[in-house]
Structure 1
Amino acid sequence: MKNVQPCRDLAEVRQHIDRLDQEIVAAIAERGGYVHQAAAFKRNEQEVRAPQRVEQVIERVRTMAEEHQADPEVVEQVYRAMISAFTEAEMHTHRSNND
C-alpha cells in the first residue's frame, strides 16, 4: 500500500476514504458506460454472461492487487460482486435492445 499516507486521527482517515470513494464511484460509472455499450455487440445472453471473460478479469485483477499490495481475496470478492451487478444490468440492456 505504497500511496497510503499516515494519518493523525480518525477524521483524517475518513477524509481520505471519502476522497477515494468519489474516485471509485466515478470509475464505476465510467466502467458502466462501457458495459452498456458492450451489450450492443453481443448476440445472445451467453455472450453477455461470458464466464471465461469473467475469469480472465478476476485473474488479471488478482495480479494487479498483488502489485498494489492489496488483498487479492478482497479484490476478487469486490470484482465478482461488481461484475455480477453489471452483468444483470447488461442483460437488461441486451434484452431491451433485442425486443
Structure 2
Amino acid sequence: MKKDKVENLEQARAQIDVIDHALIELISARQFYVDQAVRFKRTTHDVQSPERVEDVIKKVRGAAQDQGVDPNLIEHIYREMIHHFIQRELKELRP
C-alpha cells in the first residue's frame, strides 16, 4: 500500500478510515477461508492445531519486523484473531 504524507489531521483520519475498511475486508476474507478449512478438519486437535498457530505467529512476527511494525503488537492481534476463529471452528465441528 502506498503511503503518502498528509497535510492535516482530517487527511490522516481519512486515510486511517480507508485502512480500517480494508482491514475489515481482509479479516472477512480470512474468516471465509477459515470457514472453508473447517470442512477438512475432523478432530479438536485438527482445529486447535498448536503447531499451525505457532507457524502463523512466527510468519507474521517476521513480516511485522520487515515492515517496521512492533512484532509483539502483531502477535497479540493474531493470537486474539486465531483464538476467535478456533472457537468459531469448534462450534462448527461440534454443533
Q: Normalising TM by the smaller chain, what interval? A: over 0.9
Paired residue for 1:77? 76
Question: What SS does the corresponding residue of 1:26 show, helix, strand or coil?
Answer: helix
Q: Which protein, 1 or 2, shows the higher relative CO under an 8 Å CA cutoff with sep ≥ 6?
A: 1
Amino acid at match of 1:7: V
Write out the 4+ residue segments of structure 1 that deviate beyond 6 Å after TM superposition: none
Deviation at 1:4, TM superposition (A): 3.3
- Aligned CA-pair RMSD: 1.4
Amino acid at match of 2:43: N
Deviation at 1:42, TM superposition (A): 0.7
Asked if 1:59 corresponds to 2:58, the answer is yes
Distance, in Å, in 2 between the alignment partners of 1:38 and 1:12 is: 39
Paired residue for 1:27? 26
Q: Give TM-score, length-normalised by structure 2.
A: 0.92
Amino acid at match of 1:43: R
5+ unaligned residues in a row in structure 2: which ranges?
Answer: none
5+ unaligned residues in a row in structure 1: which ranges?
Answer: none
Paired residue for 1:10? 9
Q: Give TM-score, length-normalised by structure 1.
A: 0.89
Distance, in Å, in 1 between the alignment partners of 2:2 and 2:76 is: 22
